[in-house]
Amino acid sequence: MNARTKIIAGNWKMNKTVAEARSLVCELQGRLATFSGCDVVLCPPFTALASVAKLLESTPRIQLGAQNLHPAPKGAFTGEISASMLSDVGCRFVIVGHSERRRYFGETDAFLRDKLLAAVSAGLHPIFCVGEELADREAGRWPDHLRSQLQAVLHDLPPSILMEVVLAYEPVWAIGTGRTATPEQAQEAHAFLRQELERLHGNSVATGLRLQYGGSVTPENAREILAQPDVDGLLVGGASLEAGSFASIVLSVE
Ligand code: PEP
């Protein structure tokens, strides 16, 4: 990966049949045909990974990601998917620690750390999500919250693992709510994360890691958020489900 090339990822969550996924990808490929200004990652549901992988063979700049993985390499984990299965189907990225997984599936920091390590061992880039709840934002406790999420999962990892990670700042109060962080709030949180990375892991990790913002990103607000010096990309949920809006977010990378 190039150092801090902008990266826009679409998290489709539990949406799209195989046919719908295929049609979204084809339309995106058309709209982004001449664009090479950043890395683009699509994270369809598991059921669509294989057919999306096939379509993406013709546009290597658009890469495949998964939304989840299990940390074990294989075995009796009914319903789960391992890192090597994702890599085998063509994934290069995998989302780890999304607030919906933390909230609805009780995923703990220790479990997320295992997932992140499993992902990197299989050659995947984890998109590791952190972000505070509204109460923490309103009480001014967001830095403590981010510090503890970061520390719990990344604390003693070597740079060789950390440099494979994309860190996504996703304030929980902004996800799917239509309430986006202001560009200033996003920059402040990203700068704080970089400062914490520097404290924990030194300057080359802090300045080399790519940081994404996620939370109600739209074609209208993408450009201003992306213009912030510590924001290297976006993790997009709702607006990635439609080719026009996702392409226009990608095209807002300068
Ligand atoms: C997300 O789920 O990662 C996300 C950012 O969703 P949305 O863009 O819909 O807020």
Active site residue 98: yes
Q: What tens digit of pLDDT does each residue of 39-65 get?
A: 999 999 999 999 999 999 999 999 999
- Index of the ligand 1 atom closest to the CA of residue 238: 9
Check whether 242 has a pLDDT greater than 80: yes
Averaged pLDDT for residues 13-40: 96
Sign, Cα dihedral of 13, 8, 185, 166: positive
Q: Token pair 């919250």 is at which residue?
A: 145
Vertex 18, ends 120 and 1: CA angle to 5°?
30
Res. 1 pLDDT band, cuts 50 70 90: very low
How many angstroms separate the alpha carbon of residue 123 from the centre of ligand 1? 25
How many angstroms separate the alpha carbon of residue 180 from the centre of ligand 1? 10
What percent of the chain has a predicted confidence (pLDDT) above 90?
97
- Index of the ligand 1 atom closest to the CA of residue 95: 3
Global pTM? 0.97
Sign, Cα dihedral of 168, 174, 177, 180: negative
d(CA 112, CA 129): 10
pLDDT given for residue 2 in this prediction = 45
- Index of the ligand 1 atom closest to the CA of residue 217: 8
d(CA 37, CA 59): 13
150-169 burial, b at 16+ Cβ within 10 Å, e below that, comes to: beebbeebeeeebbbbbbbb
In this structure, which residue's CA is closest to atom 1 in ligand 1?
Answer: 237
Q: What tens digit of pLDDT does each residue of 184-201 get?
A: 999 999 999 999 999 999
Decide if 225 contacts 213 (C-beta within 8 A).
yes
Higher pLDDT, 36 or 162: 162
Pocket of ligand 1 (CB under 6 A): 11, 170, 175-176, 214-217, 235-239
Q: What tens digit of pLDDT does each residue of 107-155 get?
A: 999 999 999 999 999 999 999 999 999 999 999 999 999 999 999 999 9
The one catalytic residue in 107, 132, 170, 196 is 170
In this structure, which residue's CA is closest to atom 6 in ligand 1?
Answer: 237
pLDDT given for residue 254 in this prediction = 77
Give all domains of the chain, ordered by start, each with its CATH number: 7-241 (3.20.20.70)
